Amino acid sequence: MLLSKVSIKRPYFASILNLLIIIFGLMSYPKLGIEDQPNIELPLITVSVAYSGSNPSTSEELLLKPMEKSFRSITGLKNMNGSAYQNGANVSLEFELDVKADRAIEDVRNKVSQIYFPKDADTPIVEKYEMNGDSILGLTLSSTKLSKRELSNYAIFELKPLIQQIKGVGEIDVIGSQEREVHIELNSALINSMQLSPIKIKNQIASQIVTLPAGLLRTPTSVTGMSTQNIPTTIDSIAKIPLELNPENIIRVEDIAEVKDSVVEARSYGEFNGKQSIFIYIGKKPQSNMVEVSNNIRELIKKINTSQGENLNLSVIFDDSTWISSSIESVKFDLLLGAILAVFVVFIFLHDWRNTVICAVSIPTSIIGTFIVANALNFTLNNLTMLALTLSIGILVDDSIVVIENIHRHRTLGKNIFTAAYDGTAEIGLAAIAVTLAIVAVFIPVAFMEGVIGKFFFEFGITVATSVIISLFVAFTLVPMMSSRLLKDDNHLNSQKNKYALFFDNKFTEFQKKYQNTLRFLLRYKKSTLSGALVILILSVVLLKFVPMTLNIDEDNGKTRISFTLAKDTPLAVSTKRAQEIEKYILSYPGVESVLMRVGGGQLGVASDINYNITLIDPKKRNFTTAQFKQNISENLKHFIQNPEEKVGFGTRDYPLQISILSSNPQSLEQYSQKLIEFINTLPDVKDASSNADDSTYEYKIIPNRVKAASLGVTSQDIANTIRYLYAGEKVGDFFADGRFYDIKIMLPNNNNQTLNSLAGVFIPTRNENSVLLSTIATIEKVKVESVIRHLNGEKEITIKAKYFGKDLAGVTAQINDYMKKTMPFEIKNKLGGDTEFLNESIKIISSTLLLAVLFIFMVLCAQFENFMGPFSIMLSVPLAFSGSFLALIITRQPMSINAIIGIIMLMGLVTKNAILLIEFAQQKTKEGMAVNEGLLESAYVRFRPILMTTLTMVAGMIPLILSTGPGHESRANMGITVVGGLISSAILTLLIVPCFYSFIDESKMKLKNILQRKKQHTHTLKESNTID
């Protein structure tokens, strides 16, 4: 090995190379952002359009359908989900993963610019999905001295700009504020008695509140711009605006309306721990350091609270960076503890502090070096990259252990330290390269998996592969160099050993010989041994059926979301009162630390929707998990249900079971959805299955009499505008005060005393400038309608969702799929959603990755060994590991999750290591003239120590993952248990079965060769006989 030879001869050169890795790694580390998960870019675009006063069916016809028609032709579009609701509509566009998000959003914006929306609709909002784009910090702002409006102005115009100045801060939402707005509240009795049309009133007021350019005034010496300005600055100036009933009769606004200095109508209400306040939700920019952003905001909060004194109080209600920071710190601790345990294993076997130090140096060098690549590829420090480093701990010392142990063996043969360092490294070089490349061959396919999961695990795969490659470099440079300098050049090593070391070595030598004798016996009866191995492999497949499968492991993060839905037509005030009653109950529930309650708001702005963000006390102070709390509280809250329309639910993301059914036949769709819900509710661990078809409400439908209306010159647009101006409100101009502009709106008083009779008594303008009662030209009907109309790829969609509290999500999904195949009408299609869709997609992708990894490993081994027999034998160690993984999951009652599956893929690279060390040395001995079985026995004896050492160091590195109690430990433990179980079973079975399999192949090869030889000789003899004849 040239690299090792140079490193031994030039120690400063080797030291500088490794020192540079450490320096550049330490420089890269502070530049890495901190996230919960990898910051991946997905081509998901959302388009939202607000249209005040529209109902769901109007939103569908005027907003949703035009958007769907336009977007359908965009290249690369995969799925299109649309929703039409009160006051607006939105479309979520999912593109193929090979489409760049920036290109997708540009294409969508181009299409949006070509769509004709109603002139009163707001400008469409086009947004790109950002991973980790949710709010990271929530603040509450309250005051005992400032009014709600003053506090709102402070939050919007002073506090928000201050927070936006902090580096890394993204979107900021201020919720619960009361923004100033001037209301012209018409007296319906007066305007009806005067037969005044709201449209006429609106137009006259709007025409007198203007700011318009008036051209240029040119003088011999200057050119000056002109404008006509009439923006009111006082409430009285609005009240005094004149209105012309006719040329002889002019009145003022104050004669028919009350002008109020008011606030924007509240569509939501929020409390934190029973106290109303203003909430500020703060997001972060991609790639920024979440912890740093949070700390800087907290510093600003301290300064504000200090400077403002008792005037206001600004406090943190949630901070996701604390959970993420704690989770990453927990992983760091697991990493450090794993490294210590791994190094301790080395010391136990080699009982020499010098060897231990040399081995220990490889861990920080490899980990720190990984930060260079992570920074270059814009990775972040997240749970997956940190988990990758933790899982790599045992692997990072593997190469060093194998090299050090072999150097140690060559020293015991009497060689001087320099010769032993070089010969020991050179002899093991091929095997070490093969081991590293086998691991890299596994994780490169993992890094480049297809689908969302591929993007998700890209950083994980590259991190492991990078750390392993650097560890091989360290093993070939730093380890032989340090060994040649630190280890004593003493041929009488046994004289230096203490009693413990001598006792350990003697006992271990006895153990080696027993293993060698056991293997000799198994080689004698190799067919029986291999038959037993076949039984184990069959049992592995059987064991898998007893392992439940799910997407993610429930983590006890102490945070959950519960929803409570009232009847859709419930007013905000009634919803608020009900929400407060439930909030008091939740706050009194054992283990609850805080409750953030919100009524209404959100995209739909439905006052009947109540949401509770609940934070639990520290896990060490409670005797239940977050998942158990969620299940119990959702059951207990059912006692607050007062009618069939009310229900208790979770946040959308907390419904792992989601199924979409779609059809162009709405009646058939709704009937089948009820049938499917009944079946799903019968499944074990499934509760409260429901569909969005239940989300209905009532509305008054105004149906014009076209003949009568036309005879009076009244259009449907006139009727719609008149009603909307009165009941939804309409902006008529701007009001300027305190250096800012505020909206002026015309409307009826929002006093909840509006009746059907008052609606029927509204006057509509006619062609001859007179007015006519609405009731004379239209009928009014109360009808039941959908509160939200949903489409999937242009077809009517119903989504069925259910709570699931079990561990075998895949099994439940399979039962639902079987039921739908047997019962679903031909005109209905289905599409899985939620965790079920992602799980099914992930299993397909990971399965293909598994096969690809097997192929890559085999190709690498063939290239290294220059034959097929060795690699074929080595590959047997892979399925032998699965039995241990499956058994470990069953014993610990753990499900097969995505993390566990990635652990199994990782095993494929790890477990081949033992077989490579075994077969590679056996082939060396065979080339030297030994018989195959003797070579295997010699290899078994010599390689037993490094195989046991590397296996135990990897197991030791995983133990902190399994026993960890820090945040997020559940997912890490799931992967750790899978890997440890596979390592133990593979180590035992590889040492016993792989040599027998290799011997069997060689024996079969020789038999086949002899048969072909005899056949060839027989053919040759026949030819000679025929020639003689």
Helix or strand or coil: residue 595? strand
| pLDDT at site 132 | 60
**Mean residue pLDDT across the chain:** 83
Helix or strand or coil: residue 199? helix
The values of phi and psi at residue 261, to 5°, are -85, 95
Helix or strand or coil: residue 176? coil
| Cα–Cα distance measured from residue 314 to residue 317, given in angstroms and rounded to the nearest whole number | 10
* Cβ–Cβ under 8 Å, residues 105 and 45: yes
Give the tokens for residue 683: 């499944």
- Reply yes or no on whether the pLDDT at 1029 is more than 60: no
Instruction: Provide mean pLDDT across the span 138-146.
Output: 86
Count of CB atoms within 10 A of residue 246's CB? Answer: 7
422 Cβ partners below 8 Å, 6+ apart? Answer: 1, 4, 5, 8, 480, 484
Give the tokens for residue 552: 């993610």
- Which residue from 268, 148, 270 is spatially nearest to 583, judged by alpha carbons? 270
DSSP letters for 466-519: HHHHHHHHHHHHHHHHHHHHHS---S-HHHH--HHHHHHHHHHHHHHHHHHHHH
| Cα–Cα distance measured from residue 787 to residue 57, given in angstroms and rounded to the nearest whole number | 9
Give the tokens for residue 988: 């035992």
The DSSP 8-state label assigned to residue 605 in this structure reads T
The values of phi and psi at residue 768, to 5°, are -90, 25
- Reply yes or no on whether the pLDDT at 131 is more than 70: no
The DSSP 8-state label assigned to residue 630 in this structure reads H
| Cα–Cα distance measured from residue 837 to residue 818, given in angstroms and rounded to the nearest whole number | 15
Q: Containing H/E element for 531?
A: helix 526-544
| Cα–Cα distance measured from residue 953 to residue 949, given in angstroms and rounded to the nearest whole number | 6
| pLDDT at site 24 | 94
Q: What is the pLDDT of residues 415-447, one digit of tens each?
A: 788 888 788 788 777 777 777 887 888 888 877
Q: For the purposes of burial, counting CB atoms within 10 Å of the CB of 323, is it exposed (0-12), middle (13-18) or buried (19 or more)? A: middle
The pTM is what? 0.73
Q: Would you place residue 1022 in the very low, low, confident or very high pLDDT band (cuts 50, 70, 90)?
A: low
DSSP β-bridge partners for residue 227: 213
| Cα–Cα distance measured from residue 248 to residue 911, given in angstroms and rounded to the nearest whole number | 99
* Cβ–Cβ under 8 Å, residues 256 and 186: yes
Instruction: Provide mean pLDDT across the span 388-397.
Output: 75
DSSP letters for 433-454: HHHHHHHHHHHHHHHT-SHHHH
Q: What is the pLDDT of residues 991-1004, one digit of tens each?
A: 888 888 888 888 88
- Reply yes or no on whether the pLDDT at 796 is more than 90: no
Instruction: Provide mean pLDDT across the span 908-923.
Output: 81
Q: Would you place residue 752 in the very low, low, confident or very high pLDDT band (cuts 50, 70, 90)?
A: low
| β pairing state of 740-747 and 180-186 | parallel
* Cβ–Cβ under 8 Å, residues 902 and 975: yes
Q: For the purposes of burial, counting CB atoms within 10 Å of the CB of 840, is it exposed (0-12), middle (13-18) or buried (19 or more)? A: middle
| pLDDT at site 235 | 92
| pLDDT at site 578 | 93
- In the chain the domains, ranked by start, together with CATH numbers, are 1-31+351-496 (1.20.1640.10), 41-130 (3.30.70.1430), 180-263+698-786 (3.30.2090.10), 514-545+867-1029 (1.20.1640.10), 558-646 (3.30.70.1430)
Q: Containing H/E element for 95?
A: strand 88-95
- Which residue from 910, 944, 879 is spatially nearest to 936, judged by alpha carbons? 944
Q: Would you place residue 357 in the very low, low, confident or very high pLDDT band (cuts 50, 70, 90)?
A: confident
Q: What is the pLDDT of residues 280-312, one digit of tens each?
A: 889 888 777 888 889 999 999 999 888 887 778
Q: From its phi and psi, is residue 45 left (phi > 0), alpha (psi between -120 and 50) or beta?
A: beta
Q: From its phi and psi, is residue 309 left (phi > 0), alpha (psi between -120 and 50) or beta?
A: left
| Cα–Cα distance measured from residue 155 to residue 368, given in angstroms and rounded to the nearest whole number | 43
Taking every pair of C-alpha atoms in the chain, what is the biggest distance, in angstroms? 142
The values of phi and psi at residue 340, to 5°, are -65, -45
* Cβ–Cβ under 8 Å, residues 640 and 617: no
Q: Containing H/E element for 801?
A: strand 795-804
| pLDDT at site 110 | 92
Instruction: Provide mean pLDDT across the span 863-870.
Output: 77
| Cα–Cα distance measured from residue 168 to residue 283, given in angstroms and rounded to the nearest whole number | 9
| Cα–Cα distance measured from residue 699 to residue 968, given in angstroms and rounded to the nearest whole number | 47
Helix or strand or coil: residue 691? strand
Between 111-125, 457-471, 859-873, the lowest mean confidence (pLDDT) is in 859-873
| Cα–Cα distance measured from residue 340 to residue 128, given in angstroms and rounded to the nearest whole number | 44
* Cβ–Cβ under 8 Å, residues 68 and 47: no
| β pairing state of 657-663 and 278-284 | unpaired
| Cα–Cα distance measured from residue 195 to residue 771, given in angstroms and rounded to the nearest whole number | 6
More confident residue, 392 or 364: 364
Rg of the chain over CA atoms, in angstroms?
37
Instruction: Provide mean pLDDT across the span 739-766.
Output: 83
| Cα–Cα distance measured from residue 201 to residue 725, given in angstroms and rounded to the nearest whole number | 10
Length of the chain: 1029
The DSSP 8-state label assigned to residue 896 in this structure reads B
| Cα–Cα distance measured from residue 798 to residue 769, given in angstroms and rounded to the nearest whole number | 47
More confident residue, 9 or 488: 9
| Cα–Cα distance measured from residue 385 to residue 387, given in angstroms and rounded to the nearest whole number | 5
| pLDDT at site 640 | 92
Q: What is the pLDDT of residues 569-623, one digit of tens each?
A: 788 889 999 999 999 999 999 999 999 888 886 555 567 888 898 989 888 888 8
Q: What is the pLDDT of residues 34-43, one digit of tens each?
A: 777 777 778 8
Q: What is the pLDDT of residues 85-129, one digit of tens each?
A: 878 899 999 898 888 888 999 999 999 999 999 887 888 999 887
DSSP letters for 203-263: HHHHHTS-EEEEEEEE-SS-EEEEEEE----SHHHHHT-EEEEETTEEEEHHHHEEEEEEE
Angle between helices 898-927 and 969-1028 (to 10 degrees): 40
Buried b (16+ CB within 10 A) or exposed e, 674-686: eebbeebeebeeb
| pLDDT at site 111 | 92
Distance of CA 562 to the CA centre of its chain: 20
Q: For the purposes of burial, counting CB atoms within 10 Å of the CB of 626, is it exposed (0-12), middle (13-18) or buried (19 or more)? A: buried
Strands in 96-241 per DSSP E? 125-128, 137-142, 169-175, 180-186, 211-218, 223-229
DSSP β-bridge partners for residue 764: 772
* Cβ–Cβ under 8 Å, residues 838 and 452: yes
| pLDDT at site 835 | 64
| Cα–Cα distance measured from residue 1029 to residue 1025, given in angstroms and rounded to the nearest whole number | 6
Q: What is the pLDDT of residues 470-522, one digit of tens each?
A: 888 888 888 888 888 877 655 444 545 567 778 887 888 888 889 889 989 99
| pLDDT at site 664 | 78
Instruction: Provide mean pLDDT across the span 20-27.
Output: 93
Q: What is the pLDDT of residues 662-710, one digit of tens each?
A: 887 778 888 888 888 889 888 888 888 888 776 677 788 889 998 888 8
- Which residue from 906, 881, 897 is spatially nearest to 990, judged by alpha carbons? 881
Residue 528 is which amino acid?
S
- Which residue from 687, 676, 647, 695 is spatially nearest to 832, judged by alpha carbons? 676
| pLDDT at site 506 | 84
DSSP β-bridge partners for residue 697: 785
Give the tokens for residue 995: 């040599």
